[in-house]
Structure formats: C-alpha cells, structure tokens
Homo-oligomer: A and B are copies of this chain.
Amino acid sequence: MKKNRILVFFFSLILTGPIMADQTDSVMIRQIYHFELSEGRCYQDLEDLCLNIGQRLSGSKAADLAVEWAKEKMTSYGIDKVYLQEVWVPYWERGKEEKCRLVAPSKYKGRNLQVLALGNSVGTGEKGVQGKIIEIQDLRELESMGQALQNKILFINKKMDPTLVNTGQAYSNVDSIRYRGPAEAARYGATGVIVRSLSNGINPFPHTGSTGYVEGIPKIPAIAVSTADAEFLHDLLKEEKDVEIYFETFCQNHEDKLSYNVIGEIRGSLHPEEYIMVGGHLDSWDVGQGAHDDGTGCVQAIEALRILKSLGYQPKRTLRAVMFMNEENGLHGGKTYAEQARLKSEKHIAAIESDAGGFTPRGFGLDGTDEAFNRFSGWSTFFKPYLADRFTKGGSGADISPLRDQGVQLIGFRPDNQRYFLYHHTHEDTFDKVNQRELELGAAAMSSLIYFIDRHGW
C-alpha cells in the first residue's frame, strides 16, 4: 500500500505537460491493474454475497440482508460516507414450486416440462390452468388470430438469433415476448402463456424475468419453458394437432415494501459537487444466487473505489458507488436515484454501470454527447494492453438510464457476453460460474475509467 501511495505522489509531482500526462495515465492504469490482480478483494466479496446471502429479490428478507451487507462492506473499506436511500419496491413472491405437464396426446401424458413462473405474473393456485396449446413465433402473428386463442394456452416460441455475435443484442431483439406477450395474449382470450426461455442454444434451464400486465386486460398466468422443452413442444406440435397442457403456479403480488439503494462516496478534493457514479444492482431474481446478474456488478463497483482509495488517489470529483435496488422487477431504485439527484441538483458528470456479467472485459459503451465520445474513445488506447479497449457508442445500463434526461454521460461496462444467457435469470446463476481473474479485470477496467473521467473530464 505504502509503496503505491509514494509512487502516485511521485508521478503527480512530475506531471508537467501533455506528454508527461500520458505517462502518468499509463503508470496509473498499470498500478490499478497490478493492485487488483495481486490484492483484489471483489471475488471474495462476491463469494460472501452469493453463498451467505444468495438470491435476493426486492422485498425479500435476503434483499434486506444484502442492503446491510453492502453498507457494511463499503464501510469496512473506509469509503468516506456510506448511507441508504429509501426506495419503495414491489414485492412479488414465487411461492411453492411451479409445475407443468402434458395432458395430451396420451403418449406423452404426465411428461413434465422445465418451467419457471415469470416475475410479476399472477399465480394459478392449486386449480392450475389447463388448455390446448397454440404456438406462434412472434407477437405479430396474434393480429390475425381472431377467436382462435379463446380459452387456449399461447406458446410463444421465439428464438434468440444465434448468428448475432453480440448476445445482448440478440436478447434485446426478443425480450418483448416475455414482457408484453402475456398481456397481448390475454387480449385475444388466452388463459395462460408459455414463453420460450431467452437463452442461447438448447439447454434444460428455464429463465425467469419480468412480465408486465396492462390495465383493463385480464391478468393471466405466464411461465417460461426451457429451450430444450420448447424444442420438444415445437416438434410435438408439428406431429400432433391437439396438444394439451396443465400448469400451476403459486406467485403472489403483495403490497409495496420499503427498501434501499446503498450509496458510498469518496469526496472530491477540487469539485466535490460533481459526481462520478459507478454501480450495479443489488437485487436479483429469486433463483440461483444472483452471481453474474448482478452480484458481480456490485462487487466491481465497490472494488473500483477501493482500488483508487488503496492507491492513495485523491479524486477531484466525488466518486460514488451505488448498489441499486429493484432493477429486475420495477427499476424503482434507478428511478428514485435519478429523482433524488434532480431534487438535490446533483451534477453527475458520468454514470457507469456493470450489469452484463462478470466476464472478461472487452471495453465500455457510452450513451452521451459526441464531445464526450471523442474524449472517451481517445482514452481507449490506454486500455489496449489490458484487452479492454473496445470503446463504442451506446449500451449503458438500466439502473442509470433514468439519469439520461439530466444530461449525464451514461456508460456501460462491456464484458464478453457469450456465456451470459446460459445463466441469466436461472438457477444456474451461481458463484462457481464466475472466474476470479475475469471479475478482477473488470473491476480494474472500471476503476481505470473512473480515474480518466475524474482526471480529464469531458
């Protein structure tokens, strides 16, 4: 520690012009990576969060524990000021495990399908829902359905496009089937909805995620089926006209509850009124352990500040780490944070989010002004030796998106995303799927970017 502080001090003394500035930047980024790869703590922090608290959906007791955990963790690292920000969150509970099985044709009667109820969905209760299945590939097919869906169960079997190298793009292209599908199906008289899980390839893991109902249209129960069982159903429906299914879910929507965003700050020395924010979301779905989604983002955000503090770096602006609550089913943490920032006239010059998994870094995406992008992309050369120099336009993060209309430069950490949609929103999203070095490299990249923004501004 001590040696590092002296080095930083030394290099801040010899900073006398643009050439030296470049050298200072190179030295600083090298120190950040060196520190993190030899003295990183974020992997142990993630282990603690995932194994000792685990899944933590908004409103749950585990979410409360996670709030305490984040506060204590940041305090223990000597972050100047750590506090909670009140957020009212929806409280949805999955209840007893969902079940889904075929009723007809007779040769498959009783065959179980791997499913998860969609978040926010209403439950069927013990009576379940039963009906013939109609399959569509796209919501647009609904328009010509007429009465055909009446009392049926709609199976929306839209695939993520495997040919897109960017799996996040493939996901964005189809996630409306999950969010809008059930409400659309209800308009046409369906009694239940099964959506194909949003995942790459064929695997046995059902993926949950939010759905949204529309005022004045019946709320019908909705589940996601694994891609393997979606393929099975699809093949079956080609052979058999009358396929009938039964499913039961026990989800319930309760009253909203009080929860919190957790905020930690290192006060700026020159412009304390300007904020550079970095964050992830603390809540997770109620399956798995919320490891890649988004425990990794939280521990990286904390680590990004811890690194700078450990190296003795004195920021000009105030650096703020935010663990958002309720990204998964409401975004109330992000909305509240932006609202409070507006009310308090906090000037955010940048907000960085890590919510794409704790995989090996590729770079960052900036959703902001051209001027900021020019500066931003100029820094990428410093990230080249660390293989994190893909600085592109667009793609920030959900929690920080409500800050957009305050003119904040929004930045998304962009890791490699080939594996993300195997784990996302499933029982598989567990600590053992995270690689220590990949996680640490992400924290170091985020810390480095904060340094560049703080030192050079836009």
Contact = CB atoms under 8 A, between A and B. Distances in A.
Interface of A: 33-34, 37-38, 162-163, 165, 167, 200-201, 360, 362, 385-387, 390, 416, 418-419, 422, 435-438, 441
A438 B162 CA distance: 12
Given A162-B437, A360-B418, A418-B435, 7 more contacts: A33-B163, A37-B165, A360-B416, A362-B387, A387-B390, A418-B438, A422-B435
Q: 3 nearest interchain CB pairs?
A: A418-B437, A37-B163, A34-B163
B441 A162 contact: no
A419 B358 CA distance: 13
Contacts of A385: 165
Q: In the assembly, how many copies of this chain are there? A: 2
A396 B194 CA distance: 49
A201 B418 contact: no
Contacts of A422: 435
16 contacts: A34-B163, A37-B163, A37-B165, A38-B163, A165-B386, A165-B387, A165-B441, A167-B437, A360-B360, A360-B416, A387-B390, A387-B416, A418-B437, A418-B441, A419-B437, A422-B435
A435 B441 CA distance: 20
A426 B277 CA distance: 42
Which of A385, A422, A436 has its CB near the most chain B CB atoms (within 10 A)?
A436
Nearest to A439: B418
A200 B438 CA distance: 12
Given A200-B437, A362-B387, A437-B201, A162 B37 contact: yes
Nearest to A437: B418
A201 B436 contact: yes
Given A33-B163, A37-B163, A162-B37, A419 B441 contact: no
Contacts of A390: 387
A225 B387 CA distance: 31
A391 B349 CA distance: 35
Contacts of A162: 37-38, 437
Contacts of A419: 435, 437-438
A150 to B, nearest CB: 36
A227 to B, nearest CB: 12
A46 to B, nearest CB: 14
Contact of A416 (B38, B200, B416): B416
A160 to B, nearest CB: 11
Contacts of A163: 33-34, 37-38
Contacts of A438: 418-419
A111 B268 CA distance: 53
Contacts of A418: 360, 435, 437-438, 441
Contacts of A436: 200-201
A387 B200 CA distance: 18
Nearest to A388: B165
Contacts of A435: 418-419, 422
